[in-house]
């Protein structure tokens, strides 16, 4: 437990520095997360004896990252299309050693890992140059919204844990995640709604709208957690990696955020259209 707490504190401090710094430092960190996340995904399915196209996946991560870093959605669409077609073509070119299930696992992986994590950059660089007044001072708009997404994710996990510990009786999804309870989930929803509403109020956004955002963040975060849990159960692994002592790998730590970050980004895009 001590190792978990110490590594968690260090991890939060490093993450805070990277998020606040932004720019190339943040971009490089996201690229590293994408590459490590893909490596963990590939290792998991190797354990299941369905190894994906490892180096093609690495190349896809780099290309997706480059398109997102440049802010070129047209490049990103082109890269996604070409890599999906390429991964399926591999099942034809190397049909004796690379099966259709391997091709499909590869496609699913580059989409799941690559497209979800690159939204970290899309959100952090949201309206570059625009600032918001926050209780801790002026902050770039994208930085503030990324913090709201991350804090909302952490609030969901924290409130769900303590609510489940105190009141949990009814299992939420026992075959996939035996420790999760409905009572914990409800506590996570309430706690996240309150947390996100307070954060929204601090930047002068409607508290009711932000509370609704918090409710959906809690729901989406739970789904993200369950998705990674079902993948681990299917592949027969306990943790996705050992990058963070006591916490596991990138996919273990970012499973919920991989769903929440894209949702918050598209929430902003939708609200901007109104």
* pLDDT per position as a tens digit, 78-97: 999 999 999 999 999 999 99
Residue 9: partners with Cβ closer than 8 Å, 6 or more residues away: none
Q: What is the pLDDT of residue 188?
A: 96
CB 149 within 8 A of CB 224: no
- What would the two tokens of residue 156 be? 């969901």
CA distances from 186 to 172, 175, 178, 189, 213 (A): 10, 19, 16, 5, 15
Within the chain, residue ranges assigned H as helices are: 2-21, 23-47, 54-70, 73-93, 100-109, 116-124, 141-167, 182-202, 207-235, 250-254, 257-272
| Helix (H) or strand (E) run with residue 140 in it | strand 137-140
Task: Give the predicted TM-score (pTM) of the model.
Answer: 0.92
- What would the two tokens of residue 103 be? 């091709």
Q: What is the pLDDT of residue 273?
A: 76
- What would the two tokens of residue 129 be? 């140059």
pLDDT at residue 138 is higher than 80: yes
Q: What is the pLDDT of residue 5?
A: 67
pLDDT at residue 245 is higher than 80: no
Considering only residues 240 and 216, tell me which one the structure prediction assigns the higher pLDDT.
Answer: 216
Question: How confident is residue 180, by pLDDT bands cut at 50, 70 and 90?
Answer: very high
Question: How confident is residue 240, by pLDDT bands cut at 50, 70 and 90?
Answer: confident
Of the candidates 148, 230, 222, 227, which has an alpha carbon nearest to the alpha carbon of residue 186? 222
pLDDT at residue 70 is higher than 70: yes
Q: What is the pLDDT of residue 244?
A: 67
CA 110, chain centre distance (Å): 14
């Amino acid at each position: 437990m001590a190792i978990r707490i110490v590594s968690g504190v260090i991890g939060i401090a490093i993450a805070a520095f990277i998020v606040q710094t932004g720019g190339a430092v943040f971009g490089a960190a996201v690229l590293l997360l994408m590459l490590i996340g893909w490596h963990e995904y590939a290792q998991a399915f190797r354990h299941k004896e369905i190894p994906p196209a490892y180096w093609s996946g690495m190349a896809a991560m780099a290309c997706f990252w480059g398109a997102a870093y440049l802010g070129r959605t047209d490049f990103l669409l082109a890269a996604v299309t070409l890599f999906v077609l390429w991964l399926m073509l591999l099942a034809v070119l190397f049909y004796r050693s690379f099966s259709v299930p391997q091709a499909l696992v590869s496609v699913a992986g580059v989409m799941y890992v690559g497209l979800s994590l690159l939204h970290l950059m899309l959100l952090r660089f949201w309206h570059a140059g625009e600032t918001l007044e926050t209780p801790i001072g002026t902050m770039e708009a994208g930085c503030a919204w990324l913090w709201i997404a991350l804090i909302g994710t952490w609030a969901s996990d924290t409130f769900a844990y303590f609510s489940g510990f105190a009141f949990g009786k009814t299992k939420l999804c026992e075959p996939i995640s035996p420790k999760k309870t409905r009572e914990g989930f409800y506590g996570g929803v309430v706690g996240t709604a309150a947390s996100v509403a307070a954060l929204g109020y601090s930047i002068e956004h409607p508290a009711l709208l932000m509370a609704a955002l918090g409710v959906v963040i809690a729901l989406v975060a739970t789904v993200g957690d369950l998705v990674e849990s079902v993948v681990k159960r299917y592949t027969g692994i306990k943790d996705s990696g050992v990058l963070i002592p006591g916490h596991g790998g990138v996919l273990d730590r970012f499973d919920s955020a991989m769903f929440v970050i894209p949702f918050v980004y598209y929430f902003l895009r939708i609200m901007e259209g109104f």
